[in-house]
Amino acid sequence: MTSLHVSAPAFEHHRDTFGIGEPRPRLSWTVTTDIPDWIQQAYEIELGDGLSTGRVESNESALVPWPGAPLGSRERRAARVRVHGADGSASDWSEWSYGETGLLDPADWHATAAAPPLELLGAPDGPALLLRRGFTLRAPIERARLYITAHGIYEAEINGRVVGDDVLAPGWTSYHHRLRYRTHDVTGLLREGANAIGATLADGWYRGRVGFGGGKSGIYGERTALIAQLEIAYIDGTTDMIVTDDEWRCASGPVTEAGLYDGEKHDARLHPAGWSEAGFDDSSWLPADALTHDPALLVAPTGPPVRRVQTLPPTEVLTGPNGETLVDFGQNLVGRLRIRVQGPAGHTVTLRHAEVLENGALAVRPLRAAAAEDRYTLRGDAEPETFEPRFTTHGFRYAQIDGWPGAFDPADVVAVVCHTDMRPVGAFECSDPLLNRLHTNVVWSMRGNYVDLPTDCPQRDERLGWTGDIQVFAPAAAFLYDCAGPLSSWLADLAAEQAEVGTVPHYVPWVPLVFGVSATAAWGDAAVLVPWTLYERTGDLGLLRRQYPSMTAWVDQVATLTRDHLWDEGFQFGDWLDPAAPSDNPGKARTDRALVATAYHAWSARVVADTAALLGHDADAARYAELAGHVRTAFRREFVTPSGRLACDTQTAYALALTVDLFDGPEQRERAGRRLVELVAADDHRIGTGFVGTPLICDALCSVGAYGTAYQLLTQRNRPSWLYPVTMGATTIWERWDSMLPDGSVNPGEMTSFNHYALGAVADWMHRTVAGLAPAEPGYRRISVRPRPGGGLTHARAAHHTPYGEAEVNWRRDGERLTVAVRVPLNTTAIVDLPGEPAVEAGPGQHVFHCTLPDPL
Ligand code: BGC
């Protein structure tokens, strides 16, 4: 008996299909079968409204166009699919999957912004306020939806129960351009008769303090507000709507201070029992002000929200130098503590957080002006009380717990890991435990730096959507997590900010802090390279189409900043955090900034030319290809000697010029490659690159055949190197190669985060070259299997859930004999290119290949 099974179709890049914003959601499915060499010949899609495509001759199965009429607001549609093989086989119908649109038209919004009255508002990051109203439902309910967002961050409750499981909702977007709302199915929380709805509203990014150098507050407005629309459909066919307006009433509650950086202060004695339940007497509460807001700014999410994703128990309890209780969670993470505590009313427990210890105590200097301190004041119940802050997160491995009443029991504390609830899709392991830890550290840094947006770091007074950081990390990110949905939201913000301020800001959302906007290479190039990476990894041409104006605007703007196509003026971050830069001047890199900027200009111009060609903009394609050519010529004229040396003799310069292919022909490349190998050897095979060179250097070395040197860099343990932090006990990627010095002290510089993913971009090379799994065509429609074993490894494996199903490369080495097990998803082919062997094609299914490794690799 053969089996042929097709998954229920997925809608766009969604994990949560309540309240999607696409009227024509594209559908994707994967097929599993034991029929050898099965290939999809045709598909049929059926929608719940009776529409059927009939048999469509096509082997497409990822992001297939919506076959039905465009959906209107609040439309719920089921979809299922059936596939036919080229061999005449046919699957059964898949399970149904469901998608439901949110409010697609601004005119659907009837809610005003209910703002707590001025007399309740404290200073920014002050109290979180309560809003509520009671209401009566006159009949049995068929279904109910809550469409909700806020100016601020909120947690909603209905009849005493928290709605959904979002954390820090609605997350941070460029609020004055795009404010995400969420749709919740609240049918089960309501009942006929008396009901109540409420929300706790904190300042968050909207009104709270954001940014370094003192930061700013009130960035988006001086008043927080809740925007909620509860729509009820009764069984009898009638409807009702409860919206935020001036009938809502407000009061302060138990959260006396809530700041994203400083933490939360919660006095449980101030909790008005039953405040979000029916029958609560709110006559002493003050009416909300009904403010206007622009419903055209409200957008549905394209990815999952932040959630509590995992809890970790303490691994050890330590005593600090002053007798303080320190809890070690064994992992640097992002989230907060949940405690269970019992004690007298009015007693306060204080929770402080840090990523590392210095001299046995919390090292808080790297947090700069983020207090990262939560406080809980007990109600004094007869039962233990549970506290977890709701309007803050911290980056920490260690917590100091002060004021615990009675004997401290570590079983009463867990760390709650919070981040965007993306689906993990990639795995890597190999025979070297240190490299495995390095890879695990990359995964944890991705998790910690995806609290609703891709950030630089999660712990200090920063946590901004730095463009350069995600530009270099996007390939690794896209392998590890399904981040197309979340990143496409961030890219929409990037485009909106870019259109407003006239360039790609240094971080998105943009907040003017100590410096203004200016175009900077490698950072601004995120506008081009992040969408391109997502296209390569998911095949989503629609995303490229949407970002195209932003991509071209960036390259066009840079073209105006160049002289003879050289970008040699204006502020640049350059090869930020070059290990040779002094601690107090992280921008003082060895690599010429003009070289970095001009190389990136050539790179982005070429990618925009390729994008234009894909989208059918032929004139643009020719124009940008020509521009890329001019920039290459200018680069060579300025920086390359005829024999292939660079005017700037650094690892980053060669890595960049080789990656962007800026040399003139194979001789120059070969000479440049040799020089790069010499430079790395002269540094005793220690890394000499910052943010710009680090993601590229191993690929650059391999592109000139220097695999051995790439492995020597990767497996180096002396500082600076990728493994030095691992030998120092790191559990995340550090901002600096030596955020911690060998004597255990924290680097004296300012930039000493212990959780920055940028230098972890090397993980992508590990996936593609150490294990040997990469897309050969967009979306892994063709897969490249090209392991290049080295570094003394005897085994490596990478697996990735591609849009077509699970792909895997798993090799073992016994002496010179290499055995490679490959899994190729259905509807794809693999090009298997083993060392010293001609490349061969492999169809779907499991394969095992053998070869003898040529010497030396
Ligand atoms: C951030 C970086 C960022 C950089 C710009 C820092 O403060 O943490 O990761 O890219 O500034 O150079």
Q: Identify whether the C-beta of residue 657 lies closer than 8 Å to the C-beta of residue 672.
A: yes
* Integer Cα distance of 145 and 142 in angstroms: 11
Confidence class for position 1, pLDDT limits 50, 70, 90: low
CB of 211 sitting under 6 A from ligand 1: no
Q: pLDDT, tens digit, for every residue of 83-112?
A: 999 999 999 999 999 999 999 999 999 999
- Measured in Å, residue 361 CA sits from the centre of ligand 1 at 27
pLDDT of residue 94: 98
Query: Quick one: average pLDDT of 525-545?
Result: 98
| 308 HSE (CA, 13 A, CB side) | 15
Query: Distance between CA atoms of 143 and 235, rounded to whole angstroms?
Result: 8
Q: Is the CB of 468 under 6 A from ligand 1?
A: yes
CA dihedral 67, 421, 304, 762 (to 10 degrees): -80
Return the higher-pLDDT residue of 857 and 112.
112
Ligand 1, pocket-test mutation among 449, 469, 733, most atoms within 8 A of CB: 469
Asked whether residue 628 carries a pLDDT value surpassing 60, the answer given is yes
User: For ligand 1, is residue 456 a contact (CB within 6 Å)?
Assistant: yes
> Angle at which helices 665-682 and 651-659 pack, to 10 degrees?
150
Ligand 1 atom 4: residue of nearest CA: 466
- Ligand 1 atom nearest residue 576's Cα: 12
Predicted local distance difference test score (pLDDT) of residue 560: 98
CB 775 within 8 A of CB 784: yes
Atom 9, ligand 1: which residue's CA is nearest?
Answer: 456
Which of 708-717, 786-795, 848-857 has the lowest average pLDDT?
848-857
**pLDDT tens sequence across 159-215:** 999 999 999 999 999 999 999 999 999 999 999 999 999 999 999 999 999 999 999
Position 794: which residue type?
Answer: T
Over residues 292-349, the pLDDT tens digits come to: 999 999 999 999 999 999 999 999 999 999 999 999 999 999 999 999 999 999 999 9
Return the higher-pLDDT residue of 16 and 41: 41
Residue 457 has pLDDT above 70, yes or no: yes
Compute the average pLDDT of residues 800-821: 97
Instruction: Report the mean per-residue pLDDT for the chain.
Output: 97
Q: Is the pLDDT of residue 2 over 80?
A: no
- 262 pocket-lining for ligand 1 (C-beta < 6 Å): no
* Tokens encoding 454: 């891709």
Distances in whole angstroms, Cα of residue 595 to Cα of each of 486, 568, 601, 652, 689? 32, 8, 10, 10, 14
Q: What is the mean pLDDT of residues 784-799?
A: 98
- The total of other beta-carbon atoms located within 10 Å of residue 521's CB is 26
pLDDT in the model for residue 857 = 47
| CA–centroid distance, residue 573 to ligand 1 (Å) | 9
Class of residue 344 by CB neighbours under 10 A (exposed 0-12, middle 13-18, buried 19+)? exposed
Nearest protein Cα to ligand 1, atom 12: 573
Q: Judge contact between 363 and 353, C-beta under 8 A.
A: no
- Which tops the pLDDT comparison, 37 or 432? 432
What's the confidence (pLDDT) of residue 514? Answer: 83
Percent of the chain surpassing pLDDT 70: 100
Question: In angstroms, how far is CA 683 from the centroid of its own chain?
Answer: 34
Local confidence band at 16 (pLDDT 50, 70, 90 cut-offs): confident
Dump pLDDT digits (tens) for 638-656. 999 999 999 999 999 999 9
pLDDT digits (tens, 9 = 90+) for 731-740: 999 999 999 9
**330 and 397 in contact (C-beta within 8 Å)?**
yes
In order of start, what are the domains of the chain with their CATH numbers? 4-101 (2.60.40.10), 106-303 (2.60.120.260), 307-418 (2.60.120.260), 426-771 (1.50.10.10), 780-852 (2.60.420.10)
> How far is the centre of ligand 1, averaged over its atoms, from the C-alpha of 506 (Å)?
9
Q: Is the pLDDT of residue 856 over 60?
A: no
User: Which residues does the annotation mark as catalytic?
Assistant: 462, 735
Instruction: For the beta carbon of residue 185, count every other beta carbon within 10 angstroms.
Output: 15
- Is pLDDT of 57 > 80? yes
466 alpha carbon – ligand 1 mean position (Å): 7
